[in-house]
Chain A
Amino acid sequence: MNAVRTIVVWVPDWPVIAAARDAGHSPETALAVVDRGRVFACSHAARQHGVRRGLRVREAQARCPELVTMTYDPAVDAREFEPVVTAIESLAPGVEIIRPGRCALAAKGPSRYYGDRFGEILRTHLAEAGFTAIIGIADGPFAAEQAARLAEQRGLSELAFPPGESANCLAPLPIDAIDRPELVDLLRRLGIRTLGAFAALPARQVLARFGTDGLTAHRLASGRDSRPLASRRPPPELAKEIAFEPPVERVDQVAFAIKDTAEQMVAGLAERELVCTCLRVEVETERDAPRSRQWRHPRWFSAADVVDRVRWQLQGSNAPATPEGGRHLTSGVVRIRLVPDEVAPTGTYQDGLWGDQAPDERIHRTFTRIQSLIGHEAVTSVVLSGGRAPAERMTFVPWGDELTPARPTRQPWPGHLPPPAPTTVLAVPEPVQVLGASGYQVEVSERGIVSEECRVLVWGGGAGDATAGNSADHVVGRTAIGARPTQTTQRTEIVGWAGPWPVDERWWEPGPVPPGREHELAGVSSSAGDFGSRQGSAHEPGHSSRQEPGSSQRPGQGPEQSSAHRPVHAFRSRPRCARFQVACADGRAFVLRYESPNQSGFGNGSWWIEACYD
């Protein structure tokens, strides 16, 4: 059987192009797609800087500092290729996707219809759709693929091996082209370095020595690629879209207009006895780049569910509420596309598929109703997560989304609080003051030494001022309470405390700026980060920290004065933290967090309630 004359359309660097299109980057920038810590593919600009496939990310970034890295996602790769295939299919049917970025079609039909200029027509058509393709034409898909590769190496955009000449044209190519690393390795060691040399071996002996796979490779090398094309049948179009002319600027108007489209989509699926379990909503606005978000459903999407998701997505895009209750979008919506990402046969979703875990339909509907009342994020499920801070140890997931912990639970997380866990975890830590017997705020030095025992917990009043980093002594009765008489101050005796349990997590990342500290952190770059640097003798182990109020040696003063001479560690912008547990005389208990004073080392640290045992 003779090899079928085949056209291969190849878009070079496909993973990069796909990822760039998905993430909205320009393909002109230096991009690299990273898979398991190594460069999987890179753009032309990156290659010019010396980035190569297989390079470690760090080295690639060293060669090209402005490199934008993206994680390789085969799903994106395949999904983004869809428009290419559709564009080709609009010219000629029967396209086989060899892999994302590369597809083949039989040359016979189109070349008769379009004549010899088919390749050119195809390329112009793809260029209109925004893709640069290279075309190889030869007998059989393998030879055509090699033709395309050869064209790319020679800087051509199209290369055809003459009919019947494929074997001759393939002969000088290196043996690597057969894409079987083990076999290639062996053949090289046997001294066979080109496809021609391999093809020259007698087929019978290739079979005896290398088995059937070897024989297949031998057939490919000798240009007898008789594999018929596995052309795909264009999948039914399940996605629906609606365009707005003129653009719509109110969420409720969009929600109203989308109703029909949503119903059409659900009905279209129902006709094929399918239901949608995962929906992607793509919103295109006048000004911004198209935004898409995936929505999962614990069961399947009804038309009303789809409308809700569209509304939530639009509301989530920081749309300010108008006085009359409606919401204006930041820019008008031009087009909305509803793409069913995952579908399942209707029968699969019978009741009881999840056993007892399945929330009963009525419960689910109620939660969805509440979601449509106050928003998607408002109804949540919770799952335990790994982490050290009390707030990190759980993950709240909007109802209906997948329950995945934000951090793995199986890892030991040394340094987390021992059970029992706090019953109330404050979303926003509350500023407090912890005073010692001397009346000064308790401080923790870099070496984890507490200046004195914790005796009194003070809420409200001047507690917040401790964060301002003023170096004035916070003596009881002289704190900023007087400055803010409106706030009530509450004092409780501490009857038991433990700590400090220093927290030194992710110090290499710039920390979240606590409220009221922005001005401090602005000056951080010029000040010394003295964490871990040698301290004076004031805080050496064994030193009694009971001091007279007058002679109190504040951490950050005295020995710290010379900090300007120390090497500058400008990167350290995250304050040093330590956790404490305290029990109060009224029976309450808290998890407190101490944050070191600002980088210059002056002033007082701040205390925050992270969680309560109530």
Chain B
Amino acid sequence: MHGTAREGGRVTTLSRARQAAVVEELRAKLAAHPRTATAMGRPAPTLPVASAFTDLFPDKGLRKGASYAIRGTTGSTALTFALMAEVSRSGTWCGVVGMPGFGAEAASELGVDLSRVVLVPTPGRHWLTVSATLIDVLDLVVVRPPTRPTDTEIARLAARMRERGSILLVHGTDWPGCELRLEVTSSTWHGLGDGHGHLTARQVTVEATGRATDGVRRTTRLWLPGPDGSITPVDAGSESVDEHVETVGVGPEVIHPRRRPLVDLSAHRWERAG
């Protein structure tokens, strides 16, 4: 090779100008052989997410070998299910660790294929072992850590995930070294009045920050779920809800329909309860 600093096993002393030239040359070589897949322009291997989420994910999907933290006082469980949905529907097995209150019906409504889900609801102090074991064989593992693991444990888990190419969704807490932090910052339920109606749809605002977005905050508003049960982005045009749906909750479009006197609806309520 020409221009190297080592020739014939003997380190030659180079002039300052020549040193600069060598460094320049090496830089050019490095640029020509990028090591990361993204730097090479090739898309990183991912697992699919619902189309409504593609704005949030720079890779247009869940990147294999990465972890994602999902937080928020409300809406985070639904968001987790929604992210699982597309993956499980594509025939991949999902593991859920440490969620004893797993709402299977809601998961199924959001599109999760329950026949492809295995749960470890109360792993107790073994949760890290269980997660690590599941990561070895499953492509997607959802975990709600009951305790905070040490940094060493997290690093070891991350190494295992990279090697295996599996994805970890950490629910309810922050996770060091995660690819993306998803947070439900606002949530507005529709369909519930003062003593009448029932919950029909919810609008959420999801924020994504993290390594994958280079620290830029990406925000999207979603129906989670929409009036028809699907997950769709809230269009600017249809921001206001249909006339007949009453709105409650936080957000700019809150209506407090509380002026009405209380009407006794017991007769038809009895009917409904069968």
Contact = CB atoms under 8 A, between A and B. Distances in A.
Interface residues of B, number: 72
Contacts of A448: 266, 269-270
A495 B266 contact: no
B273 A396 contact: no
B187 to A, nearest CB: 3
Contacts of B109: 419-421
Contacts, number: 209
A587 B250 contact: yes
Interface in B92-151: 93, 99-109, 114-115, 117-124, 126, 129-130, 133-134, 136-138
Given A369-B133, A383-B114, A422 B103 contact: yes
Contacts of B273: 414-415, 501-504
Interface stretch (B25-33, B54-62, B191-199): B191-199
B234 interface: no
B3 interface: no
Contacts of B192: 496-498, 581-583, 589
B104 A495 contact: no
Given A384-B104, A424-B103, A496 B266 contact: no
A423 B123 contact: no
A379 B249 contact: no
A570 interface: no
Nearest to A543: B264
A243 B91 CA distance: 46
A124 interface: no
Contacts of A356: 91
B74 A422 contact: no
Contacts of A612: 77, 101
B73 A588 contact: yes
A377 to B, nearest CB: 9
B198 A497 contact: no
A449 B264 contact: yes
Interface centre among B123, B137, B250 (most CB of A within 10 A): B137
B209 interface: no
B216 interface: no
A357 interface: yes
Interface string B259-274: 0011010110110111
B18 interface: no
Contact of A542 (B77, B121, B130, B264): B264
Contacts of A301: none
Interface centre among A413, A418, A546 (most CB of B within 10 A): A418
B274 A415 contact: yes
Nearest to A444: B266
Contacts of B178: none
Interface stretch (A360-368, A471-479, A560-568): A360-368
B272 A414 contact: yes
B contact patch SS = mixed
A613 B202 contact: yes
Interface string B64-77: 00000000011111
In the complex, which range does the number of interface residues on chain A fall in?
35 or more
Given A544-B262, A583-B199, A382 B130 contact: no
Nearest to B196: A498
B43 interface: no
B139 to A, nearest CB: 10
Contacts of B197: 496, 498
B131 to A, nearest CB: 10
A423 to B, nearest CB: 4
Interface in A348-393: 356-357, 359, 362-363, 366-367, 369-370, 373-374, 378-384, 390, 393
Contact of A541 (B76, B107, B134, B264): B264
A351 B77 CA distance: 36
B189 A381 contact: no
Contacts of A611: 101, 103
Interface string A172-184: 0000000000000
B262 A452 contact: yes
Contacts of A370: 120, 130, 133-134
B126 A374 contact: yes
Nearest to A369: B133
B169 interface: no
A427 B246 CA distance: 31
B217 interface: no
B137 A357 contact: no
A502 B269 contact: yes
A585 B258 CA distance: 14
Interface string A391-409: 0011010010001000000
A450 interface: yes
B244 to A, nearest CB: 15
Contacts of A452: 262
Contact of B73 (A413, A426, A586): A586
B166 interface: no
Interface of B: 73-78, 81, 91, 93, 99-109, 114-115, 117-124, 126, 129-130, 133-134, 136-138, 186-189, 192-202, 225, 229, 246, 248-250, 254, 256, 258, 261-262, 264, 266-267, 269-270, 272-274
Smallest CB-CB A-B distances: 9 pairs: A414-B274, A496-B248, A587-B187, A496-B192, A421-B105, A394-B104, A448-B266, A424-B101, A415-B273
20 contacts: A359-B93, A384-B114, A415-B272, A415-B273, A419-B109, A420-B199, A424-B103, A425-B101, A452-B262, A453-B258, A495-B248, A497-B194, A499-B195, A502-B269, A541-B266, A583-B248, A585-B249, A611-B101, A613-B199, A614-B74
Interface of A: 356-357, 359, 362-363, 366-367, 369-370, 373-374, 378-384, 390, 393-394, 396, 399, 403, 413-415, 417-427, 447-450, 452-453, 495-504, 541-546, 581-583, 585-589, 611-614
Given A384-B105, A583-B199, A614-B76, 13 more contacts: A380-B118, A396-B119, A414-B274, A415-B272, A420-B200, A420-B225, A422-B105, A426-B101, A448-B269, A453-B195, A495-B254, A496-B249, A498-B193
